[in-house]
A and B are shown apart, each in its own frame.
Chain A
Amino acid sequence: MATQEKPTADLADPTHPKDLHSPEATKALGGMKAPPSGAYKIVSVPEIHSAVLDRYVRPGSYVSNDEAESPWVPFGDNAAIRHLAFDVRNNVYANVLWIKSKGVIGTHKHRGMVWAIGLEGSFRYLEYDWVCRPGEFITEFPGHAHTLVTDEPDGMKAFFWMQGANEFYDENGEFVETLDVWWFINHYETYCRENGLEINQQLYL
């Protein structure tokens, strides 16, 4: 099947796009050094089950920089969170954390994995020896407890993708609350409600 053709989706009689996977083609596997097409156009990908896919596939989301799509929600006096995604099936939440000037997000313990990229300023954890600056990437894993600080006069912004529970402690090591995807949903929705803002359905995966 030529890749330019829209594949037929006759579910009663599915035909395999076998000529894309001929012995010659499969023996060439591992030889790809770059994207095999540089054509500036949409190429129709063979999809035998397109009827099922079209019906059930979960669309991706897009959230622009416009604060109307997701506002900065205060998180204490010196920080704010811009929520980007909530996934209740996986207890996943993604957002940008903004600490506005030198400051601290107190000690917390992760029960899931975290990916983060620095966007502005810098931040570090008192427990580690690195500093995360714009464009730099970090991961955190279940069982890590740490204390986030920024020493910058203009603070920091970083994108976080977090999975699982996140336990917050006070400065005496007393447990205060476990944050999860619903804490983040509540944080976002409460602010929207109190400020007459519409809930953005794009944020709910």
Chain B
Amino acid sequence: MATQMKAPPSDKAEIVDVPYAYRDLVARTSPGGRYIDVPDDNESPWVPFGDNAAIKHIAFDVRQNIFSNILWIKSPGVIGTHFHRGTIMMVCLEGSVRYLEYDWVARPFGVILETPGESHTLVTDHPDGVKLFGWMQGPIDFYDADANFVETTDVFWFMNHYETYCRENGLAINPKLYL
């Protein structure tokens, strides 16, 4: 039975009915995959995060403390030092970004991985700032410029950030953002 697949075994542009015994159960119990039309601000608005940044929320998962969004810093600026308790994956979409702690600069299509226990200070020196897609798990502890702990942000902080803005601006909550 051992075969080695070298390429996708079908290149037909047609739906193949995959044999699977529990399709009804999946339909009944799974939250289902979905498409978020992120470029459409009606799907999810840009919510201000300070004067020079905004967050477009994409996903909230309260079972795993996962939150996904696009962070937009509009011109050269800083997201102050924060400490991660979980795992992060980010993709640079536009502009560039770096951390004061590291020696690389992320450019569009560059991928950033962060792991629990790391703290760092996000900076963009790009005249047009940066847009970053992030898929984040676990809390993030934010500190002020004197290293005083200020707040731990988690999925509930991000939900509150999104819902408060929607409420204040008369926007409907988008249920597609809730896993």
Chain B interface secondary structure, helix, strand, loop or mixed? mixed
Interface size on A, residues (CB 8 A): 32
* Residue A200 lies at the interface, judged by CB distance under 8 Å to chain B: no
Most buried by A among B21, B31, B149, B164: B149
B169 within 8 A of A: no
Is there an interface contact between A204 and B148, defined as CB atoms closer than 8 Å?
no
**Chain A residues whose CB sits within 8 angstroms of the CB of B174 once the complex forms:** none
Cα of A26 to Cα of B151 in the assembled complex, Å: 12
- Of all chain B residues, the one with the shortest Cβ separation from A48 is B151
Bin the interface of chain B by size. Answer: 20 to 34
- Evaluate contact between A186 and B22: CB separation under 8 angstroms: yes
Contact present for A182 and B156 (CB under 8 Å): no
Q: Is the CB–CB distance between A56 and B151 below 8 Å?
A: no
Q: For residue A92, which residue of chain B has the nearest CB?
A: B63
Question: What is the distance, in angstroms, from B65's C-beta to the closest C-beta of chain A?
Answer: 10
| Pairwise interchain contact B21-A186, C-beta atoms closer than 8 A | yes
**CB distance B29 to A88 under 8 Å?**
yes
Query: 28 A-B contacts, Cβ less than 8 Å apart?
Result: A11-B160, A11-B164, A16-B150, A18-B148, A21-B150, A23-B148, A26-B147, A26-B148, A48-B151, A49-B160, A52-B156, A56-B62, A56-B156, A56-B178, A58-B62, A86-B29, A88-B26, A88-B29, A88-B31, A89-B30, A89-B31, A89-B63, A174-B1, A175-B1, A182-B26, A183-B22, A185-B22, A205-B63
Q: Which 4 A-B pairs have the closest CB atoms?
A: A182-B22, A21-B149, A49-B160, A52-B160
